[in-house]
Structure 1
Amino acid sequence: MNKGEGKMKQRLGIIDGIRGFSLIGILMANMLIFQYGIWGMNELEHFKLFVGDEAANIWVKVFVEGSFMPIFMFLFGYSMIKMKEKLEENGGKVKRHFARRFFLLIVLGLLHSTFVWEGDILFSYGCLGLLMMIFLNRKKKTIFIWAVTLLILTSFIGFGNMMETPEEAESINSYVQKANLIYADGSYSEIKDFRNSGEDPLGLPPGAYFFIILLTPFMLCPLFLLGMYAAKMRWFTQPKEERKLYVCWASILVPIGLLLKSIPYLLPNTVWAGVAEILGAPLLAIGYIFAFALLYAKGVNPVFLKLFENVGRLSMTNYLLQSIICTTIFYGYGFGLFGQIGVINGILLAIAIYGIQVITSHFYLKVWKVGPFEKLMRIGTYLKWSGNTKKKAKPVPDYPQVKEQI
């Protein structure tokens, strides 16, 4: 193996490792939705709580919620640039391959949200991926300016968090109680119908939802763009040489992110609480990325890091399996534990499920190289059963003909 190949393998390892690391945080954050529903996760007074659950809930919201999904977004943008480079190297049609990939993500997301769980992210990723294609050939400086500008502007959406009116609070409470009964005791068809009913506790006008749909991509784009920027800068390719970079940004962004996300709990009445929380979440996510990358720069036991890499290599399969496992545990057609086990036990359950995925990913990759859903994505992207891009044939040298001497 030459030096260049070694660096490439190292790069893939660190990116897979960060992706695998993000899945434990995503599961912890999603555990609140699995247990209490999208609306109920902020109305815990309607559920059975245990000693320490309120403190644990604040810990999740400060250290975890909103700061691990952005890691996925960052890596999505990073991988787009790397995939573009690979396609160009092999003579593939870049936009055509990306369009197929993102449309397939949209379809998988719709199926996931319709038939399994309401907290799907694949649909949003597919839609945003189509939008991000306009940045594929942009300069590094342009991408960075767009990322920082959108990050700052969208943070001010949280300015002056609006208080719920008594009517809205009553409507939400009624919806949460109804959801509690259906999710805990309902059949699969009852839960699916309720999830897809489109019932809105706030009763917002259609124009409000149009505005939300229009605004959402701009709120999610910054992390995608920063991932693209990092790939174009060739970050995370040589951890040993980049150690100072990791230390610098981790030591700055992790404390700042935690401080900003703590403001709504330390100073709940300040008008800047919403801005601080929205801005703190992605900053903490980027800090986590550099902090985890530092493990590679410091030469932490490769066996330990390989466990995260294995989970990351099967990230889509593991993400979808988390939905299937948790809905089976909490919903009425499974064990019916919706709203019953508490926040701390939910955290412990998330760790246990992730531990099982670490073990299963390790043994799965000893037999197969690609996960089932990852394979499906490759087949749909490259339109080849092998799931690999067609390599560009190397030109044959045109040597001058030499007449045979007699």
Structure 2
Amino acid sequence: MDNRLETGSRVRMIDTIRGFSLLGILISNMLIFQYGIYGKDEMEYFDPSKLDAMTHKLLTVFVEGSFMPIFMFLFGYSLFKLRESLVQRGLRQGPALVRRFLLLIGFGMLHSVLLWEGDILLAYGATGFVLLLFVNRKVKTLLIWGIALSTVMFLTGLLPDEELTGATARMNEYVEQSIEVYGGGSYAEVMDFRLNEDPLGLPLGLMLASVALAPLMLLPMFLFGIAAARKQWFHNPLRERRTNARLAALSVPIGLALKAVAVWQISSSWSFALIMTGGLVLALGYIFTMAAVLGSISKRNVVVSAFEAIGRMSMTNYIMQTVICTTIFYGYGLGWFGDVGVLNGLLLALLIYSTQAVVTSFMLRSFKNGPLERLLRMWTYLTFSGKARTARRPGAGEQEQSVHL
């Protein structure tokens, strides 16, 4: 089987892994959609069955906090490939990347204000400006920074949280209000509650500091993705298959063990640190696992094709997941907030994702990109076609690169 990765198929592999990660993100976000961003950790208010309680713990170990980092890794990987493509075309990389990040921030603001508090696009756009400092660094530098910041995250997770502990009553009141507003409120009431109610009651200075430091805390997986792109990882999955399999066999059990200890042990100061660290390790394990699997099976496999289709339209599908799920769970839609259950929510996520895979596959037969992806490319390159202009004529045999962020 010819499994070499030329320019186009290399992007196909990245899209396939991105599509896989979007499934995990939807499953994880389903808890937020039906219980709230804080309510999902206060399940006693929803009187879950024993089966739902166990499913919730399993999702915390296997899914939560381990699929969003995959998206970060791929963002960093694709950012480097995009920069490389711009350089090869003789185009100025700075303005194009800045425009891209600004539009991501714009999408994120609209998403978080108009639809849902769990947005990631705003954070990605903001982090992109920090990544401009790293995108042309050596692999060694990227790895040192990534490991150092991961260590800082682990140590931060060990800090005492007396302020949060003292806010128990405020949190209880917030969750009770969220059940009433999200489950039965109008669109205006839901938006007002989402934008104005604060269960933590953090001082303004601490809140602003948290927002400013957020990109630094998100950096490790972005940096690892850039490093992988610089090392030309995923260029030949058949040749890399054994290495990826060995790395997966090492990192998946470690990541699961760290998270399992945090979930099933008696609550301690180590729990948050173990969850964060285990989430990153498990994310890398899932990436290695997918790379090993994709190096062993045909690219025409129907499941691979479904993941790839979702990955090519990841932003459009991500926003559509919000539209679908808020309509199902919020009061201005079906009003099923808190009523579906964890296990049924998991099955619903699989149904929504499968439907998106079918619809997306049909759309891509007629269009190269999704609507939001097309808009992002148009704004990045300042062309109506969404394709980059070439400042110089490419040499003989030079192929046009297409990179999806």
Aligned partners of 1:315 and 1:61: how far apart in 2? Answer: 23
**Residue pairs, 1:190-205, within 5 angstroms:** 190-197=189-196, 199-205=197-203
Q: Could you tell me which residue of structure 2 aligns to residue 267 of structure 1?
A: 265
Partner of 1:182: 181
Query: Matched residue of 1:302: which SS?
Result: coil
Partner of 1:291: 289
C-alpha contact 1:81 1:231 (8 A) present in aligned 2? yes
Change (3 A) 1:165 1:328: closer
Over 3 Å counting, the alpha-carbon distance change for 1:276 and 1:166 in structure 2 is closer
| Pairwise CA distance, 1:269 | 4.1
Deviation readout 1:224-251 (Å, 9 max, x if unpaired): 0000000000001110111122112111
Q: In 2, Cα distance between the equivalents of 1:161 and 1:341? A: 35
- For residues 23-62 of structure 1, what are the alpha-carbon distances to aligned partners after superposition, in whole Å with 9 as ceiling and x for unaligned? 1100011011100111111111111423401000001110
Q: What SS does the corresponding residue of 2:118 show, helix, strand or coil?
A: coil
1:197-243 deviations in Å (ceiling 9; x for gaps): 1x221212112213312331221000000000000000011101111
Amino acid across the alignment from 1:93? R
Q: TM-score, normalised by structure 1?
A: 0.93
Please give the per-residue CA displacement for 1:183-210, whole angstroms capped at 9, x wherever unaligned.
Answer: 111111111111111x221212112213
Distance 1:335-1:48 versus aligned 2 partners, 3 A rule: farther
| Deviation of 1:115 (Å) | 0.5
- Summarize the Cα distance change of 1:166–1:231 in structure 2 as closer, same or farther, 3 Å threshold: closer
- Does the aligned pair in 2 maintain the 1:379–1:385 contact within 8 Å? yes
Partner of 2:363: 364
Q: Is the 8 A contact 1:161 1:274 kept in 2?
A: no
Taking the TM superposition and a 5 Å limit, the aligned residue runs for 1:152-301 are: 152-159=151-158, 162=161, 167-197=166-196, 199-300=197-298
Alignment of 1:77-226 (within 5 A): 77-159=76-158, 162=161, 167-197=166-196, 199-226=197-224
Q: How far is 1:65 from its partner? A: 0.3
What secondary structure does 2:390 align onto? coil
Report the AA paired with residue 272 of structure 1.
W
Q: Residue 77 of structure 1 contacts residue 226 of structure 1 at CA under 8 Å; is this kept in 2? A: yes
Which residue matches 1:9? 8
Say whether the 8 Å CA contact 2:164–2:200 is kept in structure 1: no
Q: 2:402 matched to which residue of 1?
A: none
Q: CA RMSD in A?
A: 1.9
Q: CA deviation at 1:272?
A: 2.5
Aligned AA for 2:15?
D
* Cα distance, 1:277 vs structure 2: 1.4
What's the counterpart of residue 36 of structure 2? Answer: 37
C-alpha distance in structure 2 between counterparts of 1:250 and 1:396, whole Å = 39
Q: Which residue of 1 is the match for residue 323 of structure 2?
A: 324
Say if 2:5 and 2:235, in contact at 8 Å, map to a contact too: no
2:241 maps to a residue whose letter is: R
Provide structure 1 residue ranges, at least 5 long, that are not aligned to the other structure.
Answer: 398-406
Counterpart-to-counterpart distance in 1, 2:5 and 2:77: 19
